[in-house]
């Protein structure tokens, strides 16, 4: 499936863009071979700067926002990519605990989290949202500008786990863009039938 992107630019394609389009099979093959040798993060985004005569990456975000900006045409591709990532990293996973930043007042950020929840939900996971916000002590529903709502639940610390009440052993993902976390990586932890996926600077256990 190839999406038809909507753009305000309707003039003739310049030489750089034409070369990229003509070289698309070679470019995609290069990415495919590189990803076989170097596993990319489960999700990321790259900012590109187009000068008209050259195209260069200027920033890579390991914890990108803006998922709510995906068009409806792009959503199936995102779901497909999510399914491929799950199959490769933790194929037996059934639950996903997503831990967003403490932006309960930033409803646009939460709209982004809801879209991410939708993507992994359609990829076959039970997705719930946990929060580290000390102001949230019970499941709290937050209304969003687009008419949707999001349910944030307080995280529960047990002896060696961080999770939600009545959610079992989850796959935990920290949706955070803070700079000091840029070096953190996903690590599958095969300690349960569903596997554990964590994005914390430790092995998944809490003292």
What is the per-residue pLDDT across 3-61, written as a single tens digit (0 to 9) for each?
555 555 556 667 888 888 899 999 999 988 998 898 777 778 888 888 878 889 999 88
d(CA 35, CA 186): 15
Helix (H, G, I), strand (E, B) or coil at 127: strand
pLDDT digits (tens, 9 = 90+) for 89-123: 888 888 999 888 887 678 888 999 999 999 999 99
User: For the chain, first and last CA: distance in Å?
Assistant: 47
pLDDT digits (tens, 9 = 90+) for 119-132: 999 999 999 999 98
Q: pTM for the whole thing?
A: 0.68
Lowest mean pLDDT among 1-5, 73-77, 201-205: 201-205
Q: Which domains does the chain have, with CATH numbers?
A: 15-61 (no CATH), 67-198 (3.40.50.11280)
């Amino acid at each position: 499936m190839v999406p038809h992107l909507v753009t305000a630019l309707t003039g003739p394609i310049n030489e750089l863009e034409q070369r990229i389009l003509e070289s698309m099979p070679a470019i995609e093959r290069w990415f495919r071979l590189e990803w076989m040798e170097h596993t990319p993060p489960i999700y990321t985004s790259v900012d590109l700067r187009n000068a008209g005569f050259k195209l260069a990456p200027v920033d890579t975000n390991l914890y990108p926002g803006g998922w709510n900006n995906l068009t409806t045409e792009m959503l199936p591709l995102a779901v497909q990519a999510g399914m491929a990532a799950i199959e490769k990293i933790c194929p037996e996973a059934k639950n996903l605990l997503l831990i967003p930043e403490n932006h309960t007042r930033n409803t646009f950020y939460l709209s982004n989290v809801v879209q991410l929840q939708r993507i992994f939900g359609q990829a076959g996971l039970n997705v719930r949202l946990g929060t580290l916000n000390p102001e949230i002590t019970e499941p709290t529903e937050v209304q969003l500008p687009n008419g949707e709502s999001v349910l944030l639940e307080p995280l529960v610390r047990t002896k060696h786990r961080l999770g939600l009440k009545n959610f079992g052993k989850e796959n935990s993902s920290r949706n955070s863009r803070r700079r000091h976390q840029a070096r953190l990586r996903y690590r599958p932890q095969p300690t349960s039938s569903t596997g554990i996926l964590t994005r914390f600077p430790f092995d998944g256990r809490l003292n």
